[in-house]
Amino acid sequence: MKYRALSLILGVVAATVSGCGSTEPAKSVGGTHDPCALPDAAITAVGLVTADRMTGPVGAEFDGWQGCVWKSGAGWYDVAVYTGAPTLGEFQRDQRYQDYRAVASTTVGARAAVEFADRLDPDRRERCYLAVAQPHGMTLFLARIPYVRPGEQPPGDVCAEVRRVGAELSGKLSG
């Protein structure tokens, strides 16, 4: 129920909130970087729309994190980028994040990374997460489809999108 409400909130807010990216380098926040401060060029280069941005992570478990959500230019998915202090190991052990299940270890560039599924979408049809180790914590990328009608196939692969965006933006967020 919590994640259905989260999806609804993200969809409504992402559809109505408007903002601008920054042309300045990302600002340091507690040893990590604020994803909302990524340059417009970096955001548009990965196919996201800078004019439609929601700031701040959504979800009580992400209190203290920095984050932004952007719509994709393709229109069928959104991408959230959160930075926080927990390491990959701490994230996997902390009870606050118990709704996220590690499904694959990988690397992004030279950094350790883990793909996650959430409890409400264990098959990752509509939501896919990629956590990337950073010098002072981690960056969590989420690609999600705002809505898929029951019985319909998703219009694309959210995991392929989160991997692609994570690979492009991760190095710009290192702490």
Whether 100 and 118 have beta carbons less than 8 Å apart is answered as yes
Q: Give the whole-angstrom CA distance, residue 149 versus residue 158.
A: 16
What is the reported pLDDT for 174?
A: 66
Residue corresponding to tokens 């932004």: 68
Q: What is the pLDDT of residues 130-160, one digit of tens each?
A: 999 998 899 999 999 988 788 888 889 999 9
Residue of 91 and 63 predicted with greater confidence: 91
Q: Give the whole-angstrom CA distance, residue 76 versus residue 47.
A: 12
Residue of 41 and 151 predicted with greater confidence: 41
Q: What is the pLDDT of residues 77-123, one digit of tens each?
A: 999 999 999 999 999 999 999 999 999 999 998 999 999 999 999 99
Q: What is the pLDDT of residues 66-78, one digit of tens each?
A: 999 999 999 999 9
Residue of 3 and 153 predicted with greater confidence: 153
Q: What is the pLDDT of residues 8-19, one digit of tens each?
A: 333 333 332 333
Residue 119 tokens, joined: 């409890």
Torsion angle of C-alpha atoms 41, 174, 116, 106, degrees rounded to 10: 100
Q: What is the DSSP string of 82-135?
A: EEES--HHHHHH-GGGTTEEEEEEEEETTEEEEEEEETTBTT-SSEEEEEEEET
Exposure of 114 by Cβ count < 10 A (0-12 exposed, 13-18 middle, 19+ buried)?
A: buried
**What is the pTM (predicted TM-score) of this model?**
0.79
Question: Are β-strands 78-84 and 32-33 bridged in parallel, bridged antiparallel, or unpaired?
Answer: unpaired
Q: What is the pLDDT of residues 85-98, one digit of tens each?
A: 999 999 999 999 99
Q: How far is CA 27 from the centre of its chain?
A: 18
